[in-house]
Structure 1
Amino acid sequence: MARPRPSRSSSSFLPLLLLLPARHPLALLVAVAVTATLPPPALPYGFRNCIEAAWDPGFFRCIQRYLESPGPAVSDLPPRTYALNLSHNALRLLPPASFARLPRLRTLDLAYNRLQTLAPGAFDGLGELSALDLSYNRLAALGDGVFAGLGNLSSLWLRRNPLGSVSPGALAPLVNLRCLSLRGGRLEGLGAVAEAVKGLGRLRTLDLCCNNLTALGPGPPLPASLVNLHLCNNSLGGLLGASPTTLRHVRTLDLSYNGIARAEAFAPLRLRNLSLLHLSGNPLDVFRLLEVSDVRPHSLDFSGLTLGEGGVEKVCQKLKGPRALRRLKLQHNGFQKMPNGTLASCPLLKELDLSYNRLRGVGCVGLLLRGEQQRELEALTVEHNLLQRLPSCWTAAELPRLANISFRYNRILTIGPGAFAYAPALRVLKLNINSLARLDRDALRGLGNLTELRLDNNLLTDLYQGSFVDLGSLRTLNLRNNRVSVLFPGIFKGLASLQTLDLGGNNLRHLASRSLLGVPVLSKLYLDRNRLLEVRSEVFAPVQATLGVLDLQANNLQYITQRQRQQPPFRNLSRLYDLKMQAQQPYGLKVLPHRFFQGLVGLRSLSLSQNKLLAIPADVFQDLGQLTFLTLADSSNGMQDLPDGVFRNLGNLLTLDLENVGLHSLTLEVFGNLSRLRVLKLAKNELKTFNYSVASRLPSLRYLDLRKCPLSCTCDNTWLQSWLNNSRVQVVYPYNYTCGLRHHAYVHSFDTRVCFLDLGFYLFTGTVPVVLLLLVVPVVYHRAYWRLKYHWYLLRCWVNQQWRREEERYVYDSFVSYNSADESWVLQELVPQLERDSFRLCLHHRDFQPGRSIIDNIVDAVYNSRKTVCVVSRSYLRSEWCSMEVQLASYRLLDERRDVLVLVLLEDVGDAELSAYHRMRRVLLRRTYLRWPPEPPAQPLFWARLKKALRWGEGGEGEEEEGLGAGRRGEKEEKA
């Protein structure tokens, strides 16, 4: 197992640890001491094809993984899984017991696959499953046993499958099924479906819309529990095969778009128990239907029927009675006008829906009703019509209970003064998605109870002072996606209760300092998708005590340098908890000024994604101690690594999104203080590793995303490989991380055996001496050239000596080493004396071989002679060649352990002079030498001793010459 890396700040022993071999005992002790002081590292786990929800453990998504069978996704999921989404894959077959290893599964989504068959027992082991979605597959039939074991299933969706047949026993195991959707199939008769669901005693909703149904029978009766039956968009023109009891328990029946033309087709059916009948899109005489069937008028939805001229009055006549009608829907009836008093004959109405017609005007609404009706109406919906203007209604009759009005999806251009004066109790007004270009200053007068006003998606360019002065109870004002370019001071005067103001998607470039006057309790302000060039602290002064959400995304905020010329824009918003500043246009924020977020001490969520940041100062998040969510995703514009200490005060951060920000490395200086971080997203960065030191300092981490990072398969990542096989932090798709650009090599399985050989240590020990040698050699060469030369010759001498080791006979008795300045004494005194007694002497001027190198001649002379006589004088000491001859002779002396060196001191040389020639001084201190006496009487003794020294060793090399001791004893004897 790979050795963990210690953090930089973990211990003062780290430098020592780095200098020790990897398996050194002291290194192990230091490593234990260091890791003992660190918090426990987060141990990861991952799944090959699924992602567990970061904040919902047990919920898994395995979407768009190109899976052809569920096995690869289910094989590594834990048994605690309770929800699984396998939609948008390529599943073709579910084999038996496909999900048996997930016994706690309650929700299973298999939509948008290619399933053609379900094997019997495919869902064995899922006794707790309550919801199953098999929509948008290729299932053509449901056989017996396919849903075996799903006794707890309550919802089953099989929408948009080419389902042509359902076996009578296919749905029998689903005893607790409450909702069944077979919409969009190819079923041809209700009888076969009734046979399949007859045993489902708890079934309440059955959806068979968009099939090929042509008959309602024959077949058994539907379960008594079934109350909602949807048969829309089929071919039930004649309602063939239906018995009087087929639909007797149904409460909501949808027969829309079936081509039913004859009202008499309903005569045999018992429909009196219906509470809602949809017949939209059928060429049916609805009034004839009410005559020949037992359908109650109050249960019939009159939308999408051909009512004819005066049809509304006829409907109202049919609906008359003592009981008030909760809701009257007249959608899709093609009404082009609604004259005053049109609904006068209707019963008391609570809700009126005139949507999806071709109305060009509805007047003041109250004129459509009469007397008591006006007092009961609570909701009015006129959507998807052709309304162009709303007139003034100052004098119109009041509707005291009307609380909800919706005029959405029309073509309203103008609204007159007092247009809603007839509804003083109005609470919700929806005028969005129109063509409103001008809002009259008095259009909203008198709406003191209004709490929600929708004016979004219009063409408003100007807002006038006093427009909202009467809206003291308004809490939500939506002006999104208009063309407002200026907010005049006092424009929101009167909105004392406003909590949410949405101005997103307008043309605002600047906000004046008094733009937000009049909204003292504003808590949510949306200014996104405008053209704001700057934000200033004075703008938010009126709402600084209450503002909690501020949306500034997709504006034109730009900063050139990190120096802030003005005060930090949010410095007084201490209660702001959500700030969005992502995707500034046209290229995003590139620079954040120093202390830009100063004052946001209560901020919990900050979005800065899609901003192409070039630089972030280290102190930019300094005041955000309560921050729990931060995203900088998609900000890779050359920022590369984050500055040290940028997150040092974010100790409460739970989610950090750094996807695609250009990170090259992770360091403790950046991530070391995020002790509570649970979710970390690092996908699409340039990371080659996830540092162990960082992982060990994130003890709360539970979710890590490293997708599309070029992780390297090197020894630095051996710890990551073992880390990926543990179980504490979910690493998203860990088995898909490739080794850089090598698409067939994976981080979780690359060969790490070479890393355990301490290859780095061996390379270190092998290269360091070479490097040091290359550094030292030039210095040594410069300062000790002759010393190096001497050792080189010494080596050659040793080599030559090895070749001559076996030679026992010598050519010369003595090699005479002298300086040319002493040549006269050698030739006149020394040579005659010694050669007279038959000594064979080697002299360099006479016996050296011409053409050979000097060093070779010297070596041969020393090793071919029994002894070496060195004639020492001041000239001799100054000669490098003479010094070398002495050293070579000394080396032979040490190597052969024989006395082969005889020193003759020709001149009296003191210690002070010898100190400059340390090599010769060392030799004179260690060897006995003879001094040449200038007095003639003493010379015979000198020659006798010299000859004796040269003869010593001829017979026995181990004998010690008398009188020749070590040190300078010979000198003392001569003086004596």
Structure 2
Amino acid sequence: MSVSSLSLLLHRIMGDCLDLLLGVVLLTSPALGISSCFFNGWRALYLSCNLTQVPQVPNTTKSLLLSFNYIRTVRTTSFPFLEQLQLLELGTQFTSLTIYREAFRNLPNLRILDLGGSQIEFLHPDAFQGLPHLTELRLFFCGLSDAVLKDGYFRNLASLTRLDLSKNQIQSLHLHPSFRELNSLKSIDFSLNQIPIVCEQEFKPLQGKTLSFLSLADNHLYSRVSVDWNRCLNPFRNMVLETLDVSGNGWGVDIMRNFSNAINGSQIFSLVLTHHIMGSSFGFSNLKDPDQHTFAGLARSSMIQLDISHGYIFSLNSGVFETLQELKVLNLAYNKINSILRNAFYGLDNLQVLNISYNLLGELYNHDFDGLPKVAYIDLQKNHIGIIQDKTFKFLGKLNTLDLRDNALKTIYFLPSIPNIFLGGNKLVTLPNIPLTANFIQLSENRLENLNDLYFLLQVPHLQILILNQNRFSFCPQNHAPSKNPSLEKLFLGENMLQLAWETESCWDIFKGLSHLQLLYLNKNYLNFLPPGVFHHLTALRGLSLKDNRLTVLSPGDLPANLEILDISGNQLLSPDPDLFASLSAMDITHNKFICDCELSAFIHWVNQTNITISGSPADMYCMYPNSLAGVSIYSLSTEGCEEEEFLESLKFSLFILFTVTLTLFLMITLTVTKFRGFCFICYKKAQSLLFKDPIKGRESDTYKYDAYLCFSSKDFEWVQNALLKHLDVQYSSQNRFNLCFEERDFMPGENHIANIQDAVWSSRKTVCLVSRHFLRDGWCLEAFSYAQSRCLADLNSALIMVVVGSLSQFHLMKHQSIRGFVQKRQYLRWPEDLQDVDWFLNKLSQCILKKGKERKKDSAIQLRSVTTVS
């Protein structure tokens, strides 16, 4: 069937359906409150108005619709002279109709006359005389007999183009000779009559004509009578038929073979033979499938389209269409095809469209489509295809579109590089990683879950539309190729599970390379958040669907800057920020769960003032909380009283910020001082020295020979020298402040050791005992500690300073009686382990050495943090 013929057929079918639908609507219009009886200046509408005769209408009327009334007779006087009338509908009267001679003479410019659906009790042979401009005559379902064809009812209708005589009681097609005069006639519909046979003699008046459409469908033509084709001959001799419809006549293989042989040589560009009984179907070996002889008689018909859908063909035999060398469209849909034999399409060198949808194919083999060098479109949807050999489509060089939707493919070892691929509705779990080129790929309703497959598809060159709805995308591998497709314009990812992948903080770059993407669908992906910057690179995006997810909030930067259309309905947005929608021209934000408090006031004000087109009715934007406002439209809410609350909220927020900043600064200062306390102490001492006079230099002279006697084990001398003497003793540095006494330098050689100790203790202001593990093992050191403790008791002062060095525990100190008594009653110092605390400790020790007078007794010892130990 040519495109024009197909359009004409669809127009005819749709025209009848629309007429009937219009009638039904207008029949019910009184119930809808719509008047069906009126005149608007050029159209008179009187449908279902209980009329019994034609009403008087002005001569300016161009359309007069009188269906669904009770008009019984039509004669010349029924109509006033309506020179401009072009359309008259008298169909579907609720009573039988009688039409007299020249009934429509007063309508000289009538173009369309519709009497369809009215049972015509009497029709005068001259009823249609006086209509020189009539182009379309509708007489379907009028109860007409053969007489309407034999008695010249249509003579003098020089402009008649379309004649519809379907659904009548015509049993013979003996056409009146006046049909030869109908030079404009292009379409005749004889379907759904009772015509058993048509031979050359009946259609002789149509010889020499070119018809765009001729229907003999649903007449049991040739199927219930015995036909002598030698006498019947070719009914379409010397005729050119763009479309011949012989569907529904119960033709098997034998009738089709005989018919094709009989019309051999007639020009039939499109043959429609749907709802036939050709083929063995499933399991009937006694019935025949078409073979190489079935359509052999059509070899010289120049046939372009053959429609043999809705039948029982089980096997496509070898060479079955070999004589149809000019065929471009072959429709085999809705048969029972399970097998395609070798060379089944042999001879179809010009075929462009092949439709084998809705059949029983289970496998496709490499040889199935041999002989189709020019095929551009193959429709294989709704079969049971589970496996395809890898070279099945490899050599179809002109293939443009392949439709494999709704089959049973679990895996596919190839993807042909063609512009359009339909693979939706299968069971695919993965895709082959092979080079591929396509403009359109449809893979919806499969079982793809690894986002590697999506990254692979986003690398396909020249891809413009990618449809992946209703898959299972949820797993994001660690390693994947970056997405990059400068040509992709539309991406459909609805009804997947991207939330499961994104919540692992992976595959957030899935849209990174799609700089030309204009439309993106992410509806029904269980999304409860949008990854930061996930749409950042979609600079060309104009439409975005986030419908039916679980989003509770949209943050600034979540939406593309140039977005124009947004569907975010069916989410859980509580208080959306209207500033996010500044770039939009249209949006749908219905069926969200709004919390109707003062935080929503800005959004409520925006909704009532915005110029953006918001889809849905006001009732679809309602409150969810509080309960007192549940279900109330936000359009009906008032924001009065929210300004004071907003001020209080702003004040609370300011106080919160102030408190937070203050607390943060305090914590930062505390942490800084703790971390860098040594440096802070040095700065403090420098500042003190600048502001106050050095107490050492200003102190009064006294009678003591030494400021302090350092008592320590000789094994600790090296550490004592580096840690204390170099920083305190004046003989080590003129910058130091103390004149210290210690055994290695100041004891008199040859003198009794006890005498030296006694002299050092009593001639020094303070005795500093550096208690280490070596100290506790040295008897002289313990003896010196006892002498210093005796002086404290004698003078009732704090002349003894005990410094614990290293990791000595309380247990070790309490083992020695003299030290135990001191530890229980006096405070002692501990050498710091952290180097930054050494300066502070030396300062503390210096203060203890310089301290005069009686010291107050303390119950517990001051223990400084220990970091450094003595070897």
TM-score, length-scaled by structure 2: 0.62
Q: Is the 8 A contact 1:536 1:569 kept in 2?
A: no
Whichever residue aligns with residue 463 of structure 1, its letter is L
Output the CA distance in 1 between the equivalents of 2:307 and 2:483: 43
* Equivalent in the alignment of 2:556: 668
Superposition map of 1:437-448 within 5 A: 437-448=338-349
Could you tell me which runs of 5 or more consecutive residues in structure 1 were left unpaired when the two chains were aligned. 1-108, 118-135, 780-911, 917-976
Question: Cα distance 1:265–1:335, how it changes in 2: closer, same or farther (>3 A)?
Answer: closer
Question: Cα distance 1:292–1:238, how it changes in 2: closer, same or farther (>3 A)?
Answer: farther
SS in 2 for 1:569: helix
Superposition map of 1:917-928 within 5 A: none
Superposition map of 1:175-324 within 5 A: 185-189=68-72, 191=74, 199=82, 201=84, 203-204=86-87, 206=89, 208-209=91-92, 212=95, 214-216=97-99, 221=105, 223-239=107-123, 243=127, 245=129, 249-261=133-145, 263=147, 269=153, 271-273=155-157, 274-287=160-173, 290=176, 301-308=189-196, 310-316=197-203, 318-319=204-205, 321-323=207-209
Structure 1 residues 627-679: Cα deviation after superposition (integer angstroms, max 9, x where no partner): 1111112333xx312111111111111111111011111112311xx232221
* Equivalent in the alignment of 2:433: 537
Output the CA distance in 2 between the equivalents of 1:731 and 1:196: 52
Whichever residue aligns with residue 576 of structure 1, its letter is L
Output the CA distance in 2 between the equivalents of 1:254 and 1:110: 15
Superposition map of 1:883-894 within 5 A: none
* Equivalent in the alignment of 1:557: 448
SS in 2 for 1:424: coil
TM-score, length-scaled by structure 1: 0.56
Question: Cα distance 1:164–1:367, how it changes in 2: closer, same or farther (>3 A)?
Answer: closer
Question: Cα distance 1:138–1:266, how it changes in 2: closer, same or farther (>3 A)?
Answer: farther
Whichever residue aligns with residue 257 of structure 1, its letter is F
Whichever residue aligns with residue 553 of structure 1, its letter is S
Q: Is the 8 A contact 2:524 2:548 kept in 1?
A: yes
Structure 1 residues 280-330: Cα deviation after superposition (integer angstroms, max 9, x where no partner): 33223545673899996977544333334x5435434x3464445555432
* Equivalent in the alignment of 1:479: 380
Q: Does 1:722 align with 2:617?
A: no
* Equivalent in the alignment of 1:847: none
Output the CA distance in 2 between the equivalents of 1:284 and 1:367: 21
Structure 1 residues 128-173: Cα deviation after superposition (integer angstroms, max 9, x where no partner): xxxxxxxx95767514x5x25xx6x8xx999xx6443499779759
C-alpha deviation, 1:574, in angstroms: 2.2
* Equivalent in the alignment of 2:468: 581
Output the CA distance in 1 between the equivalents of 2:441 and 2:459: 13
1:454 aligns with one of 355, 359, 364: 355
C-alpha deviation, 1:502, in angstroms: 0.6
Structure 1 residues 831-879: Cα deviation after superposition (integer angstroms, max 9, x where no partner): xxxxxxxxxxxxxxxxxxxxxxxxxxxxxxxxxxxxxxxxxxxxxxxxx
Superposition map of 1:363-512 within 5 A: 368-369=260-261, 373-374=264-265, 376-388=267-279, 389-393=289-293, 396=296, 398-399=299-300, 401-512=302-413
2:487 aligns with one of 602, 619, 639: 602
* Equivalent in the alignment of 2:517: 627
* Equivalent in the alignment of 1:745: 632
C-alpha deviation, 1:731, in angstroms: 1.1
CA RMSD in angstroms comes to 4.2
Question: Cα distance 1:168–1:526, how it changes in 2: closer, same or farther (>3 A)?
Answer: same
C-alpha deviation, 1:438, in angstroms: 1.0
SS in 1 for 2:169: coil
Q: Does 1:142 align with 2:31?
A: no
Could you tell me which runs of 5 or more consecutive residues in structure 2 were left unpaired when the two chains were aligned. 1-21, 280-288, 667-851, 857-871
1:524 aligns with one of 413, 417, 420: 420
* Equivalent in the alignment of 2:573: 687
Question: Cα distance 1:730–1:242, how it changes in 2: closer, same or farther (>3 A)?
Answer: farther
SS in 2 for 1:380: strand
C-alpha deviation, 1:376, in angstroms: 2.6
Q: Is the 8 A contact 2:386 2:409 kept in 1?
A: yes
Q: Is the 8 A contact 1:325 1:348 kept in 2?
A: no
Q: Is the 8 A contact 2:62 2:84 kept in 1?
A: yes
C-alpha deviation, 1:475, in angstroms: 0.8
* Equivalent in the alignment of 2:249: 357
Whichever residue aligns with residue 364 of structure 2, its letter is L
Output the CA distance in 1 between the equivalents of 2:222 and 2:151: 33
Output the CA distance in 2 between the equivalents of 1:331 and 1:418: 27
* Equivalent in the alignment of 1:329: 215
* Equivalent in the alignment of 1:710: 593
1:735 aligns with one of 603, 618, 628: 618
Question: Cα distance 1:705–1:392, how it changes in 2: closer, same or farther (>3 A)?
Answer: same
SS in 1 for 2:580: helix
SS in 2 for 1:656: strand
Q: Is the 8 A contact 2:146 2:173 kept in 1?
A: no
Q: Does 1:678 align with 2:556?
A: no
Whichever residue aligns with residue 598 of structure 2, its letter is C
Output the CA distance in 1 between the equivalents of 2:574 and 2:77: 61
SS in 2 for 1:670: coil
Question: Cα distance 1:757–1:567, how it changes in 2: closer, same or farther (>3 A)?
Answer: closer
Output the CA distance in 2 between the equivalents of 1:336 and 1:597: 66
C-alpha deviation, 1:580, in angstroms: 0.6
Structure 1 residues 723-774: Cα deviation after superposition (integer angstroms, max 9, x where no partner): 22335310124633222263563322322111122454278459969x989x
Structure 1 residues 252-297: Cα deviation after superposition (integer angstroms, max 9, x where no partner): 2222222234727985955441444332332235456738999969
Q: Is the 8 A contact 1:239 1:266 kept in 2?
A: no
* Equivalent in the alignment of 1:871: none
Q: Is the 8 A contact 1:409 1:434 kept in 2?
A: yes
* Equivalent in the alignment of 1:13: none
Output the CA distance in 2 between the equivalents of 1:596 and 1:205: 67
C-alpha deviation, 1:577, in angstroms: 0.8
C-alpha deviation, 1:715, in angstroms: 1.9
SS in 2 for 1:693: helix
SS in 2 for 1:668: coil
Output the CA distance in 1 between the equivalents of 2:378 and 2:486: 28
SS in 1 for 2:643: helix
Whichever residue aligns with residue 311 of structure 2, its letter is N
SS in 2 for 1:495: coil
Structure 1 residues 476-508: Cα deviation after superposition (integer angstroms, max 9, x where no partner): 111111111111021114310111011111111
Output the CA distance in 2 between the equivalents of 1:744 and 1:714: 14
Whichever residue aligns with residue 679 of structure 1, its letter is I
Question: Cα distance 1:370–1:670, how it changes in 2: closer, same or farther (>3 A)?
Answer: same
Output the CA distance in 2 between the equivalents of 1:284 and 1:261: 5
SS in 1 for 2:364: coil
Question: Cα distance 1:325–1:743, how it changes in 2: closer, same or farther (>3 A)?
Answer: same
- Identical pairs, percent: 19
Q: Is the 8 A contact 1:403 1:425 kept in 2?
A: yes
Question: Cα distance 1:362–1:677, how it changes in 2: closer, same or farther (>3 A)?
Answer: farther
Question: Cα distance 1:248–1:238, how it changes in 2: closer, same or farther (>3 A)?
Answer: farther
Question: Cα distance 1:215–1:753, how it changes in 2: closer, same or farther (>3 A)?
Answer: same
